[in-house]
Structures are given as structure tokens and as C-alpha cells.
Structure 1
Amino acid sequence: MNPISVIVTTYNWPEALTLCLDSLFAQSDPNFEIIVADDGSSANNLEKTRRYGENGKIPVQYVHHEDQGFRAGTIRNKAAARANGDYLLFVDGDCLMRPDFVETHRRLAEAGCFVPGNRILLSRAFTDRVLGERLPLYSKPWLYFLPLRLLGKINRISALMKLPLGRLRHLQPAKWQKAMTCNLGVWKNDFIKVNGFDELFEGWGYEDSDLVIRLIHAGVRRKEGRFAAPVLHLWHPHHDKSRQDVNYRRLLERLEKQDLTMAEKGISQYLSPSLIKSKALA
């Protein structure tokens, strides 16, 4: 497989993003690029992370647009359009990846499949400690997390287990629930085939579910990434959910239309027509 493109979504939280980048710089598989998809951070915060990324072991690109509210789907489309890899790994800038994260996703990648991983949520107080001490939590051994779970500093430990599930990973090929872009792998040609994220989903909520539903409608199957490639998700306040109901109604409409695969307003606006055609036919 050619280099993977890891797309990291962020917004005005350089302390979390730099620790996220640290976890990516520590990967056992170095054959990937990082594209920071910045959804409107201030000039000062953008400059902080740009400078930090210059010193990393992995090449870092930055894609940024103006702050016009939560537009995660839009900035991810712009980043994916710049990606050099054949395989896209979507993560969030408030997530920490274990050292074998890229290696494991590369092993799980399979033609005609998307791969959602899972996550471990940190408590608010523990997140403050991790950021304050620049704690390399991503490199800690499995047993380190056991007392954290007992003390309520993380919400689970089972996600760290590595299970050789084999064919069981294909058990629910049409399941869209709990597939989130804080940990999602998809082939770039499949992503382009469904026109990426639909930018009509503005504000927080369901743009990732919509993508996955359209992938399934297009014949791309779910391959389970649980018990293989978790992320450690830092605590953060809830996003503005004023658009949640509108987005959810749109999602329900998409669910009913089995023949709907293409985003109405997607990645095609950032790609050349020849690239769209070649990827769609790949």
C-alpha cells in the first residue's frame, strides 16, 4: 500500500493537537503523511501548531479555512483533496493514538471496506493532568490503564484488548452506528466515489454517520476495527448542538433512500474532473 494520509481535524486547541501530533510522530509505521484539517483556528493558534509540526519526524500539511462555525465535513473534504495517500485515516486533534495505530489500520485495510475503530474517553480532571504534564499516555503499557479505569479516569479498558477476530470483523457489513471520524479508515477512491462528506451538514452532528451510510449504499462494507485500533479521546466541552435536530432529520431521509450515494455538496468541488473520474472508476 502507498503512504497513508492521516487527516487530523482541529479547532483552537493547540495543547491537545501538539500531543496528538506527538502520538503520530511515535508511530511504529512511519509510511504516512499528516494533514491537519483546521476548522478556523485563530492565527495565533494556527501558527503555534505550524511551528510545532515543522520539527516532527513525519511530514505535516496544513489546510485551514475561516471560522464560520462548525464545518468539520468541509475542512475534511479540503484536506482529503490534498491527500497523497490511497488510504485516508480520519482522527480528531483531541485524540491520542497508540504507537501501532497506523500499522494496525494498514493491516486491517481491505478493498471494498471502511474500518471504524473505537475510543477510550478520558475524564475532565485526567485530561487536565495529561495536558498539563504533557503525559505520553499513548505509549503507556496496557497495565498502566487498569488503575485509571478503577479510579474512573477513563471510561473503559476493554478497547485496549487486541483480539484476532478474523471473519467476525465482517459480521455487520451494513452497520452504520458508532462509526465516527475520530477513528475511521477508508480508501480514497471510495471516499471520492460517494463525493466525500456532505457539506450541507453544518453545525455539530451526523456528518460522519451520513458519510458511512452513503458508503454502505454504494456497496462499501463495514470491517470492524474494535479490539484492534483504539484512540484515547481527551475530554472537551460539548459542541454547540443547535443544528443537531436539523442534521438528524436529514440523516433519516438519507437512510430511507437506498439508492442515494453521492453527497449533494462534497469533495468534487475541490478536485479536478479527471481525478474524480479516475478515482470513481478505480
Structure 2
Amino acid sequence: MKTAFIVLTYNRPDTLLQVLRGLVSQCGEQHEVIIADDGSSQAAIDAVQKALPLFKCPVTHVWHPDRGFTASRARNLAAGSSTANYFVFMDGDCVPNPRFVEAHSALLEPGFFVNGSRVLLSEQLTKKILADEVDINNARWMDWLRWRLAGDANKLIHLLHWPNAPFRKQRAFHWKRIRSCNFGVWRNDFLRVNGFDESFEGWGHEDADLVLRLHNAGLQRKNGFCATEVYHLWHKENSRDNELSNRHIVTQRLHTGVIRAVRGVDDALVADDVRVTRFD
């Protein structure tokens, strides 16, 4: 059993390194870390490689040229390069909690995918974390309470670690709280639906589309609250110019029973503009 943590990034070595530092103490030889790079500059790549923490597992960097927001393609390319049985997709600005790897391992189950949870952090707290003034994974409950009262964190439910909580499983498709920044899926299930659909243009709802197609393929959703939380570092929002049109695509597909992506991981596997590098 091997799990790959696939971390999406684009020109943010500072936030990516925070994520990798959160993973390094949790990952063992049975894991792999894959950086899904959506076209970062060479300077950004060099900064990550220079400051990369020492992992016990392989760390691979999968890069393709910058053609705008093409997160689905970056993730598909990373998944296609992996030999793992199970994928956990993450974003390069979402720092895992100290039990993140353990929690995802406990929740994985045949016939299910895991929809993770997140805690939103303020711009002020994010700046302190990136300046190494705050170690978010060594914060005490008193720190979290102070941050919550100050508006630096949007919730405190992650302080309750409850891996066996009831009501995690959902049979039907729901738009609510779908998170590709924290998402676990079996390799075979991901390949069966042809991964993320690269025909979506720009930001918005490619994650909902993946969840819908997994449901159509017979998979059920398991929610990762009180277990799998990541700490989402503040950033300016991406352009949402295509959000409505992308949502319309998913809405139309609700009634079609579609399972496979129009252009997905199978197509990404034959790409000739991809650079795969082992980071040591």
C-alpha cells in the first residue's frame, strides 16, 4: 500500500515549503510526494529545491509550461507519474495538520473517496507564518482561540480530533464543501473516471465535476472533518471569470450519468512538454 501526496503549486515557493515542512515529519517510506507544478519559473523551482526538507520518501517535481490556470492538467500529469495505490491531492498553500497523513490513512476505504476539510487563515496570520514567526503546527488551543477571536482563523472545529465521527458518508452528490485542495481517492477509481477534466477553462468547479463523475461511477463521499484539516494560507483570489460557465457544465452533467473526463489523465500521459525531476 503506497500513498502519494500530490501538491499543486504555481510560483509560490514560500507557501509550498510550508506545506512540505508540514508533511516531512509525517511521511515514511510507504509514501511519495509529488509536486504538481502548473508552470512555475525556474527561479521558483530552484528556491524550493534549495530549501527542501529531508524526506524519507521520494519527492518528485512534475512541471509543464505556463499556459494560464491549468491545475487539472498539472494534477493529472502528477498522478500519471505516480506508482501509488492512493492519491491525496493538496494545494501548495494548504499546510497539513500534524495528524494529516495518519487521518487520511484511517479514512481510506474501498468504494469511497475522502473530501477533506480546511481552516481559513487571515492575511495577518499568514504573513507571520511565512516569516517563521509562527509555527502553525505547534500552536496550542489557546493560540487558536486567540486567533479565532481576532478573526485570524475562521473556525475551531479542527481542535476536536474525532477520526471515528459518525455521519461522514454521503451517498448523493452535493456541491457543498468540495475541496480538491484536500482530497483522497484510490488510484484505480481516479483512472477509471479519467481524472480531472482538462476541458474546464480557468478557475472553478473542476473539483465538483470530478466528484460528480466519481459518484456516477458508484463511489461514495466520505467527509474528513475533525481529522484531515489543512490550514489554508491567505492569498488573493484567482480570477473567477469562468466560474459561472464551469458551473453550468457541471449542472448539465448532473443528468447525463457521465463518468469519464472529456480530456483527462489518459491524455496527459502522452504529453511531450512535461519535465519530471527527482528532488533529492
TM-score by length of 1: 0.90
Q: Structure 1's 168 and 83: CA in aligned 2 closer, same or farther, altered over 3 A?
A: same
How far apart, in 2, do the equivalents of 1:84 and 1:218 lie? 22
Cα RMSD (Å) of the superposition? Answer: 1.8
Which whole-Å deviations, capped at 9, do the CAs of 1:82-140 have from their partners, x for residues lacking one? 11210000010001111210111011000010001110000011111110126321233
SS of the residue 2:254 aligns to: helix
Preserved CA contact (<8 Å) 2:28 2:56: no
Question: What is residue 65 of structure 2 aligned with on the other side?
Answer: 66
Q: Is 2:147 the partner of 1:120? A: no
Question: What is residue 160 of structure 1 aligned with on the other side?
Answer: 159
How far apart, in 2, do the equivalents of 1:250 and 1:171 lie? 23
How far apart, in 1, do the equivalents of 2:66 and 2:133 lie? 28
How far apart, in 2, do the equivalents of 1:28 and 1:150 lie? 33
**Which stretch shows the higher mean deviation, 170-179 or 139-148?**
170-179
Question: What is residue 192 of structure 1 aligned with on the other side?
Answer: 191
Question: What is residue 261 of structure 1 aligned with on the other side?
Answer: 259
**Which stretch shows the higher mean deviation, 242-251 or 97-106?**
242-251
**Pairing of 1:60-209 with structure 2 (within 5 A):** 60-133=59-132, 135-209=134-208
Question: What is residue 18 of structure 1 aligned with on the other side?
Answer: 17
Give how far 1:171 is off.
Answer: 4.5
How far apart, in 1, do the equivalents of 2:55 and 2:28 lie? 14
Preserved CA contact (<8 Å) 1:34 1:58: yes
Q: Structure 1's 132 and 263: CA in aligned 2 closer, same or farther, altered over 3 A?
A: same
Give how far 1:58 is off.
Answer: 3.5
Preserved CA contact (<8 Å) 2:160 2:226: yes
How far apart, in 2, do the equivalents of 1:125 and 1:140 lie? 16
Give how far 1:41 is off.
Answer: 0.8
Q: Structure 1's 49 and 28: CA in aligned 2 closer, same or farther, altered over 3 A?
A: closer
Question: What is residue 276 of structure 2 aligned with on the other side?
Answer: none
Question: What is residue 273 of structure 2 aligned with on the other side?
Answer: none
Q: Structure 1's 128 and 181: CA in aligned 2 closer, same or farther, altered over 3 A?
A: same
Give how far 1:178 is off.
Answer: 1.2
SS of the residue 1:47 aligns to: helix
**Which stretch shows the higher mean deviation, 171-180 or 225-234?**
171-180
- Which ranges in structure 1 are unaligned for 5 or more consecutive residues? 273-282
**Which stretch shows the higher mean deviation, 86-95 or 129-138?**
129-138
Q: Structure 1's 78 and 171: CA in aligned 2 closer, same or farther, altered over 3 A?
A: closer
**Which stretch shows the higher mean deviation, 88-97 or 137-146?**
137-146
Give how far 1:247 is off.
Answer: 1.0
SS of the residue 2:7 aligns to: strand
**Which stretch shows the higher mean deviation, 231-240 or 169-178?**
169-178
Percent of aligned pairs with the same amino acid: 40
Tell me which protein shows more helix as a share of its residues: 1
TM-score by length of 2: 0.91
How far apart, in 1, do the equivalents of 2:146 and 2:12 lie? 28
Number of residue pairs aligned between Structure 1 and Structure 2: 270
Preserved CA contact (<8 Å) 2:129 2:136: yes
**Which stretch shows the higher mean deviation, 184-193 or 240-249?**
240-249
